[in-house]
Amino acid sequence: MDITSAVAAVSVNSATQLKNAVQISVLKKAIDSQAEGALALLQAVSVPPSATSATGGIVDTFA
């Protein structure tokens, strides 16, 4: 192996490591963004009425 191919191999390895680091960073940001969106959706869901309220507490099964 001559010096030129060794330098080229190190350069390719360095570029691959940088590419992987950038991809992981983008993935983490996407996951954080999805988590924020999911939390907002969960907070936006209204609380269902309790079973003791006047409406919807009794089911008429006579048909």
C-alpha separations of 19 from 3, 22, 38, 62 in Å: 24, 5, 29, 67
DSSP states of 10-53: HHHHHHHHHHHHHHHHHHHHHHHHHHHHHHHHHHHSPPPPPTTS
Per residue of the chain (63 residues), what is the pLDDT tens digit?
688 888 888 898 999 999 999 999 999 999 999 999 999 998 888 666 565 556 656 676 776
Residue 28 domain-assigned (yes or no): yes
* Domain, as residue range, for 15: 1-44
Q: How many domains does the chain have?
A: 1
According to DSSP, residue 1 is labeled -
Geometric angle at alpha carbon 19, from 28 and 12, rounded to 5°: 160
pTM of the complete model? 0.57
Residue 50 domain-assigned (yes or no): no
